[in-house]
């Protein structure tokens, strides 16, 4: 008997949610200016991820087929790009790393170079202002940018 791909994904995401929750609980900040602290956001996301993953496990879709090789390869490249993004985030800063990763993702899914560039610029700049001005979250500018300030 083959297990539906939805169920396998759901179980993997429950594991990821558990990892996020454990990391969030262990997060200790000596001082905090927020009433709920830094644990609330990752804990909330892990609860939401667990609930949605349970839906995948308990009620998989009608089409529980595994992706074909081409799509599976692209999905693996998306995972690699997200890991690269996490590694470059503090070195290059939010805007530069987001621009590069969004462009790479757009090209991976057949966008032209022009559309990939426009999408990368818009998403990184708008995202930066949403986080900094809208949410008041300081984002890294990157070591290369600090030399210009």
53 and 30 in a single domain? The answer is yes
23 and 74 in a single domain? The answer is no
pLDDT of residue 105: 94
Residue 98: exposure state from Cβ atoms within 10 A (0-12, 13-18, ≥19): buried
With bands split at pLDDT 50, 70 and 90, how would you rate the model's confidence at 50? Answer: very high
Task: Write down the pTM of the prediction.
Answer: 0.64
Q: What is the pLDDT of residues 91-142, one digit of tens each?
A: 888 899 999 999 999 999 889 999 999 999 999 999 988 888 887 778 887 7
pLDDT of residue 148: 57
SS3 39: coil
> How many domains does the chain divide into?
2
pLDDT of residue 34: 62
Burial annotation 47-56 (CB, 10 A radius, 16+ → b, else e): eebbeebeeb
Q: What is the mean pLDDT of residues 67-80?
A: 84
pLDDT at 1 over 60: no
74 and 49 in a single domain? The answer is no
16 and 36 in a single domain? The answer is yes
Distance CA 128, CA 21 (A): 26
39 and 77 in a single domain? The answer is no
pLDDT of residue 144: 65
């Amino acid at each position: 008997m083959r297990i539906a791909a939805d169920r396998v994904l759901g179980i993997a995401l429950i594991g990821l949610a558990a990892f996020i929750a454990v990391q969030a609980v262990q997060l200790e900040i000596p001082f905090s200016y927020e009433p709920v602290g830094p644990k609330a956001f990752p804990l909330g996301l892990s609860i939401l991820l667990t609930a949605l993953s349970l839906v995948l496990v308990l009620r998989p879709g009608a089409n529980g087929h595994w992706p074909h090789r081409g799509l599976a390869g692209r999905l693996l490249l998306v995972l690699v790009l997200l890991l690269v993004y996490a590694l470059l985030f503090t070195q290059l800063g939010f805007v530069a790393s987001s621009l590069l990763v969004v462009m790479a993702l757009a090209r991976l899914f057949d966008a032209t170079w022009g559309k990939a560039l426009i999408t990368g610029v818009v998403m990184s700049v708008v995202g930066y202002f949403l986080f900094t001005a809208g949410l008041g979250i300081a984002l890294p500018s990157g070591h290369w940018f600090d030399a210009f300030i």
